[in-house]
């Protein structure tokens, strides 16, 4: 029998997503009849507001079932530009906004537009598990920089070579929930400017910042000139399954970058974009409540975890994550909690070596399930 040709090394070399694999593992455990209390999901588990669903329904009934503009619905792009101006002060033209099927595709689009074969991209860790693989899919090489508690600009600058093309920066950070300071952002902008680098800024959790301040590189004209901003509706509005995000590009670059959209997805379905437009319309009505719910849950859960011997936990300034330090092997502990106590978490080392000795926990489950999971954790401990 003729041997089958191997799949591409580009795909074969990719590491599986640790967070997706955990989600699938929990799903399989539940399907087998186990009652799993999940503190592992990156889905906010917010019920999508009925008005958002109705907007999509109306669009479908009105016949919005055909190809649409490659860059996205002009009305949605205008609303996204206005939303970004309120948040960061950045003034974007509608033409600088590209609607994408989720934030992950916005990231991939930015990388496809900036990374040549064998280019290097600086990736601070712990960080989202898809950054490195997305760089590799574009033919680039991720340069991993351990930076748990701060962006160390000296370390970052020392890692720059003639092949360095970009740096991926995430704020608020997944998995820690940390918000980068204005000093860190200013330093990054200066570094990128001096070394002629692109900044790819992932801010998908920015609507869940608990404080008034949210520093961003696109806030100044200088930073906006070389910053690609990745954002999504998923975490803010409980729209993970809708696959709706966007990419804000430096002035004048949307036309060439959109060629990747033309030759891949073509466009995001119009009804999905109609739902996004409605979501932005009701933002002030619904998002503050989501934000406060997560802040309260983080604060309560952090205090309970911090009281457990061998666990140290402080509530972050954003998102719905906790990243407690544990005085034991994080992978073994996560496995034991799941196998013996039916509580799911994600080892911190899944987000890079700098995350070892930590766990990523989420506070997205209903309050009663979070309470029960924390009670089980307190009883189990870390030994």
Radius of gyration of the chain (CA): 21
Tally of domains in the chain:
2
250 — pLDDT class (breaks 50, 70, 90): very high
CATH number of the domain to which 88 belongs: 3.40.640.10
User: What's the distance, Cα to Cα, between the start and end of the chain in Å?
Assistant: 52
Residues 252 and 345 in one domain: no
Residues 369 and 246 in one domain: no
Give domain status of residue 180, yes or no.
yes
With a pLDDT cut of 70, the percent of the chain lying above it is 100
80 — pLDDT class (breaks 50, 70, 90): very high
Q: Is the pLDDT of residue 25 over 90?
A: no
Question: Which of the two residues, 32 and 242, has the higher pLDDT score?
Answer: 242
Q: Is the pLDDT of residue 334 over 70?
A: yes
Q: Is the pLDDT of residue 2 over 80?
A: no
Structural domain boundaries enclosing 338:
9-48+284-380
> Strand, coil or helix: what is 376?
helix
Q: Is the pLDDT of residue 228 over 80?
A: yes
Q: Is the pLDDT of residue 91 over 80?
A: yes
Residues 44 and 54 in one domain: no
Q: Is the pLDDT of residue 10 over 90?
A: no
**Tens of pLDDT along 350-360?**
999 999 999 99
31-45, 46-60, 190-204, 244-258: segment of lowest average pLDDT: 31-45
53 — pLDDT class (breaks 50, 70, 90): very high
Q: How far apart are CA 2 and CA 283, in angstroms?
A: 58
Tally the C-alpha atoms within 13 A of residue 91's C-alpha that lie toward its C-beta.
3
**Tens of pLDDT along 109-166?**
999 999 999 999 999 999 999 999 999 999 999 999 999 999 999 999 999 999 999 9
Of 262, 283, 304, which residue constitutes the final position of a domain?
283
Residues 296 and 269 in one domain: no
Q: Is the pLDDT of residue 16 over 80?
A: no
Q: Considering the chain, what is the average pLDDT of its residues?
A: 95
Q: Is the pLDDT of residue 329 over 80?
A: yes
Residues 220 and 94 in one domain: yes
At 8 the pLDDT is 85
Q: Is the pLDDT of residue 1 over 80?
A: no
Of 236, 260, 283, which residue constitutes the final position of a domain?
283
At 102 the pLDDT is 97
Of 235, 261, 283, which residue constitutes the final position of a domain?
283
At 281 the pLDDT is 98
Question: For residues 377 and 345, is the Cβ–Cβ distance under 8 A?
Answer: no
Residues 307 and 167 in one domain: no
At 13 the pLDDT is 84
Residues 248 and 102 in one domain: yes
Question: Which of the two residues, 111 and 15, has the higher pLDDT score?
Answer: 111
Q: In what order do the strands lie in the sheet with 346-347?
A: 321-322, 359-362, 346-347
**Tens of pLDDT along 367-383?**
999 999 999 999 999 97
**CB proximity list for 69: less than 8 A, separation 6 or greater:** 267
Q: How far apart are CA 32 and CA 49, in angstroms?
A: 31
């Amino acid at each position: 029998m003729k041997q089958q040709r191997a799949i591409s090394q580009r795909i074969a070399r990719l590491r599986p997503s640790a967070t997706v694999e955990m989600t699938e593992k929990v799903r399989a455990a539940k399907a087998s009849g186990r009652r799993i209390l999940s503190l592992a999901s990156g889905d906010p588990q917010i019920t999508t507001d009925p008005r958002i669903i109705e907007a999509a329904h109306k669009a479908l009934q009105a016949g919005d079932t055909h190809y649409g503009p490659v860059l996205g619905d002009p009305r949605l792009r205008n609303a996204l530009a206005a939303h970004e101006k309120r948040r960061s002060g950045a003034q974007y033209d509608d033409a600088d906004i590209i609607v994408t099927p989720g934030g992950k595709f916005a990231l991939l689009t930015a990388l496809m537009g900036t990374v040549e074969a064998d280019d290097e991209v600086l990736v601070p860790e712990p960080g989202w598990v898809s950054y490195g693989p997305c760089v590799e899919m574009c033919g680039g090489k991720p340069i991993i920089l351990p930076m748990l508690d701060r962006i160390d600009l000296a370390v970052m600058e020392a890692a720059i070579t003639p092949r360095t093309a970009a740096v991926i920066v995430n704020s608020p950070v997944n998995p820690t929930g940390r918000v980068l300071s204005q000093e860190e952002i200013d330093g990054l902008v200066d570094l990128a400017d001096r070394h002629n680098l692109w900044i790819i800024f992932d801010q998908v959790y920015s609507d869940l910042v608990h404080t008034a301040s949210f520093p961003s590189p696109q806030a100044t004209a200088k930073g906006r000139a070389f910053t690609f901003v990745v954002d999504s509706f998923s975490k803010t509005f409980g729209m993970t399954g809708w696959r709706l995000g966007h990419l804000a590009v430096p002035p004048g670059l949307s036309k060439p970058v959109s060629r990747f959209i033309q030759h891949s997805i073509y466009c995001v379905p119009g009804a999905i974009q109609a739902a996004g437009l409605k979501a932005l319309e009701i933002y002030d009505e619904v998002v503050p409540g989501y934000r406060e719910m997560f802040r309260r849950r983080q604060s309560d859960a952090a205090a309970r975890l911090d009281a457990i011997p061998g666990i140290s936990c402080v509530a972050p300034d954003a998102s719905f994550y906790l990243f407690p330090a544990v005085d034991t092997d994080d992978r073994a502990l996560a496995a034991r909690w799941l196998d013996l106590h039916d509580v799911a978490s994600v080892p911190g080392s899944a987000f890079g070596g700098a995350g070892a000795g930590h766990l990523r926990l989420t506070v997205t489950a209903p309050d009663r399930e979070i309470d029960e999971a924390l009670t089980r954790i307190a009883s189990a401990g870390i030994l």
